[in-house]
């Protein structure tokens, strides 16, 4: 029984980080219609950058982490300005492929600057484990969940009350109408990329403070795709709900199915969920099915 | 339209001819002669590169039919190659099926799996389809990597060399002729598929599938047919890889390869018969240049330790991004411009 509780708690907290990554995806997808397949590599890059700041440069966390955030804002701006701005209104195929090219580039960059295959961040959270009933949980899981929730609340408020946030939602609805209202659409695009990169940076630091920094982090990006597919591509709430579901399915499936099937089943469960969603409800739980006209 | 001044078509047969003018025929003859005698000129190493390019052209042509003509994005192409490779490997090594039967069977099995993966394409497109092909890639590779008593799992399996009419194709040059022949057939077939009813239907589906459906094109049939043809060719390419390399495991068919195939058809120019050829040659030669240049550069300039592993991906990523930003129509478009200026010389239009 304690095993089950353990799986549930770990699954939900890890799933919330997936939600955070997925939010970054949904943000960019909604505002600019770009599918960012380089998410996993962005997470990897930011985790290594955090490692570079905190461990290699030896900065304390209250200086190092803001630098990571500033770097992520800058990178988001650069990526949008240089790579995606020239491709506005190109077919979706080009937009997907260019982010794949970006993912190659980032992966090369990471192994160029940090040739180590593995590293750990200095501890950001207290170490004492927490006992919930019979289950034991590292405190960093709890912190990760709290930070994820906090960011979700902040984002919701941002989209509801901030002028820029409202403009972003409007852009998601109709780009041309927004442009006609005098809101610079390109600025919205660049804001959404910057925000998405910050989310990737935060979730990267959270993931690598739970585990270690290695190439496995890119698979977190892939898993977040199953989150957005399950939740619906254009739904923030969907991403937030689907994340823990994917995390739960992954952990429970990994825990109970591995003896029945082959090892590594944990890694494919998110993909099996993608295929199932595609067959049953392709636009996800909360996704909007757009009616097309010729 | 593409004919030089003074050449007129007087019959439909003339209009449909691929190689129409004397220059084209001469160039074709030269190219054929050069390729057929290539083993005399090239060493084993470069023949190996040529074989890799040939196999890549076959797979890229398949992806081009699926993505370039029919507009169905697939990022899991390497998984279908893997299916073809292991099918052929298992058939020839365990059941001693002749290579000439195993090869098409490998293609058909890969095609059928491709059709299964393609079923969601009837309801979704664009990013949804891209993600479901990635998901299919991981599921297929997971099965291949863990089905130990069939595929050998992570250990991989040895593949006997291809055997045609009692002749074992063990040397690079004999493999070269086999791959050359199949590549030529595939290119010719792809060129002709694009000009038939099927190809036109694919293009209509790509440009606007709703409009195509209203025009009376059966989306169900044509989308799945595109998946079948694309994955069939991937399976053929995979089977050829298996018999060429002689030993395969899941590692031969990485997600990176899949992405590179998408990059190839983008760089070559999508929706054209020559595009995949340009793209495959460009990417493979670039890869070759990277593997040869990196050690030299590393020795002569004292570079950081991560240079060797990081340089290749960075360069490939940069090339894909630059092509999409600066030359989205690919090398094929450049080739067209070159042909036009050649035809019109010395005038500019």
CA B111/CA B124 separation, integer angstroms:
20
Q: Is residue B1 part of a domain?
A: no
Of B131, B259, B319, the CB nearest to A100: B259
**Band (B241; pLDDT cuts 50, 70, 90):** very high
* Residue B284 binned pLDDT confidence (cut-offs 50, 70, 90): very high
Contacts of B314 (CB under 8 A, 6+ apart): A104, A105, A108, A109, A112
% of chain B residues with pLDDT over 70: 99
- In this prediction, residue B59 has a pLDDT band, given cuts at 50, 70 and 90, of very high
Average confidence (pLDDT) over B246-254: 86
Note the pLDDT of residue A292. 66
CB atoms A96 and B130 under 8 Å: yes
Is B18 inside a domain boundary? no
Flag whether B217 is in a domain.
yes
User: Is there a domain that residue B301 lies in?
Assistant: no
- Give me the pLDDT at residue A1, please: 62
**Interface contact flag, B132 A268, Cβ < 8 Å:** no
Higher pLDDT, B306 or B38: B38
pLDDT at B56: 94
Residue B79 has pLDDT above 90, yes or no: yes
Q: What is the CATH number of the domain that holds B93?
A: 1.10.3470
pLDDT band at residue B202, thresholds of 50, 70 and 90?
A: very high
More confident of the two residues B293 and B204:
B204
Q: Do A104 and B75 touch (CB under 8 A)?
A: no
C-alpha A114/C-alpha A215 separation (Å) is: 11
| Inter-chain CB proximity A108 and B312 less than 8 Å | yes
Residue from A278, A283, A287 whose CB has the most chain B CBs within 10 Å, to mutate: A278
Judge whether B10 lies within some domain: no
pLDDT > 60? residue B9 = yes
Pick the more confident residue, B344 or B140. Answer: B140
Top pLDDT among B193 and A120 is at: B193
Asked if B263 reaches chain A (Cβ–Cβ under 8 Å), the answer is yes
Residue A133 — left, alpha, or beta (φ > 0 → left; ψ -120 to 50 → alpha)?
left
Query: In the predicted model, is pLDDT for residue B212 greater than 80?
Result: yes
- Does the pLDDT value for residue B152 go beyond 80? no
Residue B97 near residue B40 (C-beta atoms within 8 A)? no
Statement: residue B1 has pLDDT above 60: no
| Residues B22 and B6 sit within 8 Å (Cβ to Cβ) | no
Residue B98 lies in a domain: yes
Check: CB of residue B3 under 8 Å from CB of residue B21. Answer: yes
Asked if the Cβ–Cβ distance from B263 to A282 is below 8 Å, we say no
ipTM for the predicted complex comes to 0.89
Looking at the complex, does the CB of residue B324 fall below 8 Å from at least one CB of chain A?
A: yes
Do you know the residue count of chain B?
A: 349
Segments of chain A scoring below 70 in pLDDT: 1, 290, 292-294
**pLDDT digit string, tens, across residues A192-248:** 999 999 999 998 888 888 877 887 788 888 888 889 888 888 788 888 888 899 989
Is residue B79 in some structural domain? Answer: yes
Indicate whether B8 pLDDT > 70: yes
Please give the pLDDT value at position B294: 83
Contact between B235 and B108 (Cβ < 8 Å): yes
Count of domains observed in chain B: 1
Mean pLDDT of B207-234: 91
Point out the residue among B138, B313, B321 whose CB comes nearest to the CB of A83: B321
| Residue A291 neighbours by CB under 8 Å, 6+ apart | none
Is A233–B127 a contact, with Cβ atoms under 8 angstroms apart?
yes
B168 falls in which pLDDT band (50, 70, 90)?
confident
A88-92, B222-226, B319-323, range with the lowest pLDDT: A88-92
Query: What is the domain range of residue B105?
Result: 27-294+308-342
In a domain, B16, yes or no: no
């Amino acid at each position: 029984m304690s095993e089950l509780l353990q799986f549930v708690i770990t699954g939900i907290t890890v799933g919330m980080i997936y939600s955070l990554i997925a939010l970054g995806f949904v943000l960019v997808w909604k505002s600019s219609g770009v599918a960012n397949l380089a998410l996993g590599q962005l997470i990897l890059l930011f985790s290594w950058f955090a490692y570079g700041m905190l461990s290699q440069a030896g900065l304390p966390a209250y200086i190092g982490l803001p630098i990571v955030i500033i770097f992520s804002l800058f990178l988001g701006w650069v990526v949008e300005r240089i790579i995606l701005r020239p491709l506005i209104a190109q077919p979706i195929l080009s937009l997907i492929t260019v982010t794949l090219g970006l993912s190659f580039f980032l992966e090369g960059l990471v192994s160029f600057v940090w040739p180590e295959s593995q590293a750990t961040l200095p501890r950001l959270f207290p170490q004492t484990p927490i006992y919930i009933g019979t289950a034991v949980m590292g405190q960093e899981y709890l912190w990760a969940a709290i930070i994820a929730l906090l960011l979700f609340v902040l984002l919701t408020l941002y989209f509801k009350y901030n002028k820029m946030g409202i403009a972003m939602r409007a852009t998601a609805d109709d780009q041309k109408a927004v442009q006609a209202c005098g809101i610079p659409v390109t600025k919205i695009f660049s804001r959404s990329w910057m925000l998405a990169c910050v989310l990737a940076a935060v979730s990267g630091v959270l993931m690598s403070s739970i585990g270690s920094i290695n190439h496995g982090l890119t698979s977190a990006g892939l898993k977040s795709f199953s989150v957005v597919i399950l939740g619906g591509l254009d739904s923030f709430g969907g991403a937030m709900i689907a994340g823990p579901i994917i995390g739960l399915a992954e952990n429970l499936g990994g825990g109970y199915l591995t003896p029945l099937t082959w090892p590594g089943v944990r890694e494919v469960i998110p993909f099996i969920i993608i295929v199932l969603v595609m067959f049953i409800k392709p636009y996800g739980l909360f996704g909007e099915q757009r009616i097309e006209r010729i | 339209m593409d004919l030089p001044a003074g050449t007129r078509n007087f019959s439909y047969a003339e209009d449909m001819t691929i190689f129409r003018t004397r220059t084209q025929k001469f160039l074709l003859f030269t190219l054929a002669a050069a390729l057929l005698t290539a083993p005399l000129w090239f060493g084993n190493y470069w023949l190996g590169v040529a074989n890799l390019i040939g196999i890549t052209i076959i797979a890229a042509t398949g992806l081009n039919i699926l993505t370039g003509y029919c507009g169905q994005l697939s990022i899991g192409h390497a998984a279908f190659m893997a299916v073809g490779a292991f099918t052929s490997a298992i058939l020839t090594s365990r059941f001693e099926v002749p290579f000439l039967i195993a090869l098409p069977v490998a293609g058909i099995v890969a095609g059928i799996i491709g059709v299964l993966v393609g079923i969601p394409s009837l309801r979704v497109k664009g990013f949804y389809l891209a993600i479901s092909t990635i998901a299919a890639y991981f599921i297929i590779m997971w099965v291949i990597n863990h089905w130990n008593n069939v595929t050998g799992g992570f250990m991989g399996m040895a593949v006997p060399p291809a055997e045609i009419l009692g002749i074992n194709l063990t040397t690079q040059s004999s493999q070269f002729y086999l791959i050359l022949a199949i590549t030529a057939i595939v290119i010719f077939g792809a060129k002709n598929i694009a000009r038939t009813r099927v190809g036109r239907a694919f293009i209509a589906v790509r440009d606007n599938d709703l409009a195509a459906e209203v025009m009376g094109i059966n989306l169900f049939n044509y989308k799945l047919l595109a998946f079948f043809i694309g994955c069939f060719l991937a399976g053929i390419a995979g089977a050829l890889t298996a018999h060429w390399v002689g030993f395969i495991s899941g590692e031969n068919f990485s997600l990176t390869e899949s992405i590179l195939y998408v990059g190839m058809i983008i760089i070559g120019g999508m929706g054209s018969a020559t595009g995949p050829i340009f793209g495959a040659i460009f990417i493979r030669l670039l890869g070759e240049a990277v593997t040869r240049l990196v050690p030299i550069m590393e020795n002569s300039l004292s570079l950081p330790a991560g240079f060797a592993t990081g340089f290749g991906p960075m360069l490939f990523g940069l090339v894909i991004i630059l092509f999409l930003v600066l030359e989205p129509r690919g090398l094929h478009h450049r080739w067209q411009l070159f042909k036009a200026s050649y035809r019109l010389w010395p005038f500019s239009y």
